[in-house]
């Protein structure tokens, strides 16, 4: 059985243990001039995403707002995934859905906004890395 792989967009500064990203072969998309360090991509399976969620809890300002990472299936870019950090109040919620599923897109955005993430930052529909 083949394991489904996802290409995920992450913020390096969000992780307590950043070596996890290095072990997954993280590639820099954009260097940032802040404690966030950089936006990077990693390719991983669902179990690795769950491990990343546990470490995606490093905060600089408001500790009540969780980080999130987003991505798409390596074999199917219309297969989207959005994973919230383990500190989202629900242990790290993961949403998997098709790019044309407007109901799920609204649910993910609503979930993020309810957790304190500004709507304009919920830009997972525009991912193209």
- Domains held by the chain: number: 1
pLDDT for residue 39: 96
**Distance between CA atoms of 28 and 9, rounded to whole angstroms?**
10
Instruction: Report pLDDT for 110.
Output: 96
Show the domain range for 15.
5-126
Predicted confidence pLDDT, tens digits, the chain (129 residues): 568 999 999 999 999 999 999 999 999 999 999 999 999 999 999 999 999 999 998 877 788 889 999 999 999 999 999 999 999 999 999 999 999 999 999 999 999 999 999 999 888 877 776
Is residue 87 within 8 Å of 57, Cβ to Cβ?
A: yes
Cβ–Cβ under 8 Å, residues 33 and 8: no
Q: What is the residue whose two structure tokens read 């394991």? A: 3
Tell which residue, 91, 99, 93, 86, has the closest CA to residue 112: 93
Instruction: Cite the beta strand spans of 1-129 per DSSP E.
Output: 5-11, 27-31, 38-45, 68-73, 79-84, 94-98
Q: CA-CA distance, 15 to 2, in Å (whole number)?
A: 28
Q: What is the dihedral of CA 61, 24, 128, 83, to 10 degrees?
A: -50
Q: Model-level pTM greater than 0.85?
A: yes
């Amino acid at each position: 059985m083949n394991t489904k792989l996802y290409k995920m967009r992450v913020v390096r500064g969000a992780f307590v243990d950043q070596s996890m990203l290095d072990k997954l072969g993280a590639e820099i998309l954009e260097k940032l001039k802040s404690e966030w360090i950089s936006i990077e991509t990693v390719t991983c399976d669902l179990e690795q995403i769950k491990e990343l969620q546990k470490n995606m809890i490093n905060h600089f300002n408001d500790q009540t707002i969780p980080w999130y990472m987003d991505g798409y299936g390596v074999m199917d870019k219309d297969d989207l995934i959005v994973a919230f950090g383990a500190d989202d109040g629900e242990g790290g919620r993961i949403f998997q859905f098709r790019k044309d599923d407007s109901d799920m897109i609204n649910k993910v955005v609503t979930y993020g906004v309810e957790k304190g993430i500004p709507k304009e930052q919920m830009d997972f529909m525009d991912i193209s890395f």
